[in-house]
């Protein structure tokens, strides 16, 4: 059973879809778009981007999906990073707006639903020029079943901005060292606001 990952702007009509293979100039264009429209600078991940998919959701929402791959020692990692942004030019966030913790967002989304994500832990992550809160979801329960996941929800801990999600597909089990490797990769993302 596969469960959708719906951490932020998820409802809407799919209008366009573009897949960009790694190494194409359009991957650089997608990273520019992430910086301009989402407020995230992904240049620290550039060498690890395998492909990019951009989806226009509704009129004012854009989703960027980055397939990432890297090695740590002999272990191969594959993951999907999802950014949810406004379609127009990024406006710096209002620093007076309340900031939600990722675990609270997950609990609110799952409240009253058929499925529930288990947040194994939530902790701070100090990245290049910002501080985030990261929640790790290790399994989902619903319909009498439990399915293992390796999902991370990353939210700015000081400014109310759309969160990003990272879902690890390989390796199938994440040890403490593997999780540290994933967090190190997330720490390469910087913000532009």
The 8-class DSSP code of residue 108 comes to: H
Is the overall model pTM greater than 0.85, yes or no?
no
Cross-strand partners of 135: 122, 153
pLDDT beyond 60 at 183:
yes
Q: What digits encode the pLDDT tens for the residues 97-146?
A: 778 899 999 999 999 889 999 999 999 999 888 899 999 999 999 999 99
Confidence of residue 90 (pLDDT cuts 50, 70, 90): low
CA distances 124 to 130, 136, 157, Å, are 11, 11, 8
Average pLDDT over residues 142-171: 92
DSSP state letters, 30-62? HHHHIIIIISEE-GGGGGGEEEEEEEEETTTEE
Q: What digits encode the pLDDT tens for the residues 50-81?
A: 999 988 877 778 889 999 999 999 999 999 99
The 8-class DSSP code of residue 99 comes to: P
**Domains within the chain, CATH numbers bracketed:** 14-191 (3.40.1000)
Cross-strand partners of 123: 134
Which residue, among 44, 50, 1, 42, has the nearest Cα to 24 in the 3D structure? 50
pLDDT beyond 80 at 17:
no
Other beta carbons within 10 angstroms of residue 120's beta carbon come to 13
pLDDT of residue 124: 95
Say if CB 151 and CB 137 are below 8 A apart: yes
């Amino acid at each position: 059973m596969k469960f959708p990952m719906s951490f932020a702007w998820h409802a809407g009509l799919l209008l366009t879809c573009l897949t960009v293979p790694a190494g194409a100039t359009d991957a650089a264009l997608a990273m520019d778009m992430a910086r301009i429209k989402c407020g995230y600078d992904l240049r620290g991940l550039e060498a690890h981007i395998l492909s990019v998919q951009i989806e226009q959701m509704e009129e004012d929402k854009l989703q960027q999906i980055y397939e990432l791959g890297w090695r740590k020692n002999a272990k191969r990692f594959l993951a999907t990073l999802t950014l949810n942004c406004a379609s127009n030019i990024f406006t710096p966030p209002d620093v007076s707006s309340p900031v939600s913790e990722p675990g609270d967002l997950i609990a609110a989304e799952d409240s009253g639903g058929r499925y529930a994500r288990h947040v194994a832990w939530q902790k701070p992550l100090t990245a290049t020029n910002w501080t985030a809160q990261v929640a790790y979801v290790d399994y989902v329960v619903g319909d009498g079943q439990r399915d293992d996941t390796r999902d991370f929800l990353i939210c700015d801990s000081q400014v109310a901005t759309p969160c990003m999600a990272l879902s690890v597909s390989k390796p199938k089990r994440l040890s403490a060292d593997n999780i540290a490797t994933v967090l190190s990769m997330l720490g390469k993302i910087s913000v532009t606001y």
